[in-house]
Structure 1
Amino acid sequence: MSGNPVIAPAHLGWAGIARLGLVQSALGAIVMLASSLLNRIMVVEYATAAALPAGLVAFHYGVQLSRPKWGHGSDAGWRRTPWIIGGMAMLGGGGLLATFATTQLSGPFWPVLGLLVLAYAMIGIGVGASGTSLLALLASRTAEARRPAAASLTWIMMIVGIVISAGVAGALLDPYSPARLINVAAGVVAVAFTLTCIAVWGVEGAPQAEAKRDAVPFGEALRGIWNDPLTRLFSIFVFFSMLAYSMQDLILEPFSGLVFGLTPGQSTSLSGVQHQGVLAGMILVGVGGHAFGGKAGLKLKRWIVLGCIASAAALALLALAARAGPGWPLAINVAALGFANGMFAVAAIGSMLELAGRGGPGHEGIRMGLWGAAQASAFGIGGFAGAIAVDGLRAIVSETALAFELVFAAEAVLFLGAAMIALRLNDSMGAATRPAQREALA
């Protein structure tokens, strides 16, 4: 290690945090292209089985298990900006390749499948490298008191990016043609990549030789952070909470159609109501986490527990809705679920930012990578598990509504389990802060 002192970088102001939020918007825009728009094109315009896009999306989550490696790479380097820009370039290239391959689905299947697998691998790598490095930069450069609001702001901007890009791309795609699809995708990627470059330009400042760290081998670094009980417990929490969060992704709209008789347009509107609830929950925690006094980390854990319990309650009500059928206030129930999900999700992201620097600077990337891998694996498993569970139960039980009721009840139990883990996080966080407090009083 160099004998020169390490110069601590200045904390980001709100303008700098908002700039990094623009990168989240760009990430969300390209991911929307791959996971939502192309999903619809494959199934409707090219009449492929829904399992193809679902499998590709799950595969891209699987590729994101490499997130700790990308985070470690940005930890060991001079700066995180090249990883953010390079990851975005990989993501954009994967999005364009996936779009081109989709337009070839009317031809021989196996060569096109090979292109799609390569494209979604690039998408997974790009999201992992860029997203992990972005969160590590945000964690290392945001003051503790601002982390809840910073997490809320950046995630809201990501959702806004998804909404805007989906609306604009949808409007420009009519009337559909393969050439128009490629042009729209190229426009989304070009705008997203340009926005990323502008957003991160100059945020880190000039590289400084005295700030460079000796690289620790990846395996040693990963074992080191996994041996930290708080980091390990938080990783387990991220997996179980995000598993519960994602299990309803693929079944909520079919539930509204099969049990409540909603039309496709009405079920899509119901999904919009849920996302509005998510935004409201994120804003509440972001504003509350910044405005109210107290230790930020401990406060966020309380929001996590409250959000998980509220999510479990909303899912239990959805289970009752399956039994009650039409006449149940479904939109209010779904809005409440979204609100509770938004509360716990943004509090969890804020806690990631707060815990990423545990053990000193230089490890934010690999910690964010570990938690990102836990989240990606939960999302990859959760959506499929929910859909498969409903299909399997519908084949066994006599009523479709009962199948959904049992799955929603199982999700509620998962959220209660996540809340219990979060309570242990509260205890662990308090134990971690007490020695520092005693030292300060000595």
Structure 2
Amino acid sequence: MNALGAAHSRLQATAPRQSAAGLSWISIIRLGLVQTALGAIIVLTTSTLNRVMVVEYALPAMLPGVLVAIHHAVQMLRPRLGYGSDMGARRTPWIIGGMAVLAIGGVTAASAVALMSLSLGWGVALAALGFFLVGLGVGAAGTSLLAMLASMVEAERRAPAATILWVMMIMGFAVTAGVAGKLLDPFSPMRLIAVTAGVSLFAFLLACLALIGLERGARAPVAHEGPRPEFSAVLREVWADPAARRFTIFVFISMLAYSAADLVLEPFAGEVFGRSIGQSTALAGMQNGGTLVGMIIMAIFGSGLFGARLASLRGWMFMGCLASAAALVALAMAAELQAAVSLETLYVLLGLANGAFAAAAIASMMQLAGAARTGTRMGLWGAAQAIAFALGGFGGTVVCDLARWMLGSAEHAYAAVFLGEAALFVVSALIATRLAVSRLPNLRMSPMKEAIS
């Protein structure tokens, strides 16, 4: 056996043992509630606060770009956090601890944005701390949550279970954006803090309640026996897997494309179309609602009930990326198209396309997660996504500001960002055709009894 194979065998020997029982569908939905809680806080910090800084305070788009980049850059720690989760006896403390840090970070970030109206310098400094905490909380809670799902759910249930989690997270995005949009009108800094604090507290309590007793008697990791493997050795083992490495590249490019519009979509609606903060937040809710529907459509047709061709994960990722590119081109031409197509329709179409490719990517991720080093694998892909989001969010705002300066037009500046994203989605579609995934496994679900077992 060669050196790499020997190292792999030694590492496998120290992998955590699993108990026989897996999570029921009801328990999977409870995990989905944790994702809903995550999404509720994230949508306020990455969308609404960004809109306030750019439109209400007339600050450069690069400022929220830098802050959100901090939030994503911190998540480069995801592989290390996932490794720590792998080595421990339980993942629940990692999730609850991460949710607590996330909630504190969300309130801190909102307070910082309110402070900017009085002191820009102190406000920016406090915002940097807030977004750092948001990133740390998301990394700890999100990575451990996905690792729990992959390690405690039977193989044939993993992909649909992951889709359920993401659908419920998008529900958190959509519901929070819609409700917060109504509560934030008319805007005031104190109203912003109150709404964010209320959402953060509710999300933390929801996550804690959802996790009670989940790991008890299920397939949870137990303490390691023998020497504890080094993090660097575990990471090298995961990176040596060609399928995992290629999927990491796909995640990076597709998420770079996906994230470049995150920080400009709400300001775009405000500057180019004159929408209020409540209206632009509601538009974000409509986009996330479209994403939710796109995920559900992919899950239904990807199940194989309508033929094997429609169940191809590669096909859904390929077509979803191309459809996302087309929707972004339409957004770049939104001012010219508004007589024929409403802005609301374009936001929903972008969400539908994003949801279809994202659901297929999530299902693929669960196929590739493997039985060992689950937390580290999830952490690697989470880190790729985080780096892409940091570069994409900041890069989108930089391109927007530079294009505005060069072209002298807000409309053309936003169009430049959308067209650049479309090009990246085309590249992602090509990479998707080479991924080592095929289709969702058969659930072999029988009757109502199986539905809840």
Partner of 1:246: 259
Partner of 1:80: 91
C-alpha deviation, 1:372, in angstroms: 0.9
Question: How far apart are 1:247 and its partner, in Å?
Answer: 2.1
Corresponding position: 1:335 with 2:348: yes
C-alpha displacement of 1:31 = 1.9
Q: How do 1:40-51 and structure 2 match up within 5 A?
A: 40-42=51-53, 50-51=61-62
CA deviation after TM superposition for structure 1 residue 30, in Å:
1.9
Instruction: Specify the alignment match of 1:69 in structure 2.
Output: 80
Match of 1:440 in 2: none
Aligned equivalent of 1:204, options 215, 222, 225: 215
The offset of 1:369, in angstroms, is 0.9
Query: How far apart, CA to CA, are the structure 2 residues paired with 1:220 and 1:348?
Result: 27
2:19 equivalent in structure 1: 8
Shift of 1:182: 4.5
The aligned amino acid for 2:173 is I
Partner of 1:437: none
Q: Structure 1 residues 142 and 322, CA, compared in 2 at 3 Å: closer, same or farther?
A: same
Give how far 1:219 is off: 1.2
Gaps of 5+ in 1: 434-442
Distance 1:402 1:6, change over 3 A: closer
Select between 155-164 and 57-66 the one with higher mean Cα deviation: 155-164
Q: Structure 1 pair 233/100, CA: closer, same or farther in 2 (3 Å)? A: same
The answer on whether the counterparts of 1:28 and 1:161 sit within 8 Å (CA) in structure 2 is: yes
SS of equivalent to 2:202: helix
1:381 deviates by: 1.6
The reply to whether residue 195 of structure 1 matches residue 189 of structure 2 is no
SS at match of 2:19: coil
Compared CA separation, residues 192 and 384, structure 1 to 2 (3 A): same
Which segment drifts farther, 155-164 or 106-115?
Answer: 106-115
AA partner of residue 8 (structure 1)? S
1:155 and 2:166 matched: yes
Closer, same or farther: CA 131–395 of 1 in aligned 2, 3 Å: same
CA contact (8 A) 2:101 2:136 kept: yes
Matched to 2:254, the amino acid is S
Aligned counterpart, 1:53: 64
Look up the equivalent residue of 1:302 and give its one-letter code. G
* CA offset digits 1:30-82 (Å, max 9, x no partner): 22333334445556676655543332122111111111111110011111111
Conservation of the 8 A alpha-carbon contact between 1:148 and 1:289: no
Q: Is the 8 A contact 1:148 1:285 kept in 2?
A: no
CA distance in 1 between counterparts of 2:271 and 2:57 reads 25
Distance in 2 separating the partners of 1:115 and 1:401: 32
**CA distance 1:11–1:429, change in 2 (3 Å):** same
Tell me the distance in 2 between the aligned counterparts of 1:25 and 1:339: 19
In structure 2, the CA distance between the partners of 1:392 and 1:36, relative to structure 1 (3 Å rule), is closer
Q: Aligned AA for 2:130?
A: A
Q: What percentage of residue pairs aligned between the two structures are identical?
A: 50
TM-score (norm 1): 0.82
- The runs of 5 or more residues in structure 2 that have no matched partner are 1-9, 442-453
User: Which residue number corresponds to residue 236 of structure 2?
Assistant: 223
Distance 1:8 1:18, change over 3 A: same
Query: In the superposition, relative to structure 1, how do residues 170 and 322 fare at CA in structure 2: closer, same or farther (>3 Å)?
Result: closer
Is the aligned partner of 1:350 residue 2:363?
Answer: yes
In the superposition, relative to structure 1, how do residues 78 and 386 fare at CA in structure 2: closer, same or farther (>3 Å)?
same
Report the CA distance shift for 1:300/1:129 in structure 2 as closer, same or farther (over 3 A). same
Q: CA RMSD in A?
A: 3.6
Deviation at 1:304, TM superposition (A): 1.2
Query: Structure 1's 173 and 134: CA in aligned 2 closer, same or farther, altered over 3 A?
Result: same
What CA deviation, in whole Å up to 9, does each residue of 1:245-299 have, x standing for no partner?
122334445556777x564477666544433321221111122333538999x83
> Are residue 94 (structure 1) and residue 105 (structure 2) matched?
yes
Counterpart in the other structure of 1:310: 323
What does residue range 292-311 of structure 1 map to in structure 2 within 5 Å?
Answer: 292=305, 299-311=312-324
1:415 is aligned to 425
In structure 2, the partner of 1:439 is none
Q: Distance in 1 between matches of 2:260 and 2:360?
A: 20
Q: 1: distance between equivalents of 2:270 and 2:105? A: 34
Contact 2:177 2:281 in 1 (8 A): no
Does residue 1:142 correspond to 2:166, yes or no?
no
Farther-moved stretch of structure 1 (129-138 vs 103-112):
103-112
Counterpart residue number, 1:28: 39
User: Distance in 2 between the 1:318 and 1:170 partners?
Assistant: 22
C-alpha change, 1:340 and 1:102, in structure 2 (3 Å) is: closer
Aligned twin of 2:389: 379
What are the within-5 Å matches in structure 2 for residues 284-295 of structure 1?
A: 284-290=297-303, 292=305
What's the CA shift for 1:330? 4.7
What is the identity, as a one-letter code, of the residue corresponding to 2:305?
Answer: F
1-side partners of 2:61 and 2:400: how far apart? 16
Aligned CA distance change for structure 1 residues 98 and 322 (closer, same or farther; 3 Å): closer
Instruction: Give me the whole-angstrom Cα distance separating, in 2, the residues matched to 1:3 and 1:58.
Output: 36
Task: Count residues with an aligned counterpart.
Answer: 424
Does residue 236 in structure 1 map to residue 246 in structure 2? Answer: no
The 2-side partners of 1:337 and 1:17 are apart by 28
Q: CA deviation at 1:139?
A: 1.5
Kept after mapping to 2: 8 A contact 1:322/1:404: no
TM-score (norm 2): 0.81
